[in-house]
Amino acid sequence: MEQLLIQIGRDDLSRMIKEAVRDAMPENIKQASPQPFIKGTRELAEFLRVSVPRAQQLKNSGIIPFWQDGRTVLFDPDKVRDAFNSYTQKSRRT
């Protein structure tokens, strides 16, 4: 197998990588703006427009995905929205 050695400058390489990554990303990700994480059940309740005890219940029952960083409970807004929409649609069917 023949090897080919190409010399390229740092700026050109950086530009090529950025273009390749941009081209490989799905269109919906390119347009999405990063949203900060939801911190704690109070913020979750505000986000979902439910009471704090109801938000706690949804978290504890595993309906809303979360992770913990020390004592801080964090929620990904996109995952919360998807999980809550799925839960409410299932509730309406039964």
* Model confidence pLDDT, tens digit, residues 2-18: 888 889 999 998 999 98
Is residue 78 very low, low, confident or very high in pLDDT (cuts 50, 70, 90)?
very high
The CA distance from 81 to 64, in Å, is 9
Chain centroid to CA 92: how far? Answer: 26
The CA distance from 10 to 41, in Å, is 46
Cα dihedral 24, 27, 31, 32 sign: negative
What CATH number matches the domain at 38-93, 3.30.450, 3.40.50, 1.10.10, 2.60.40?
1.10.10
pTM above 0.75, yes or no: no
The CA distance from 90 to 76, in Å, is 21
Locate the domains of the chain by residue range. 38-93
Closest to 45 (Cα-Cα) out of 66, 32, 59: 59
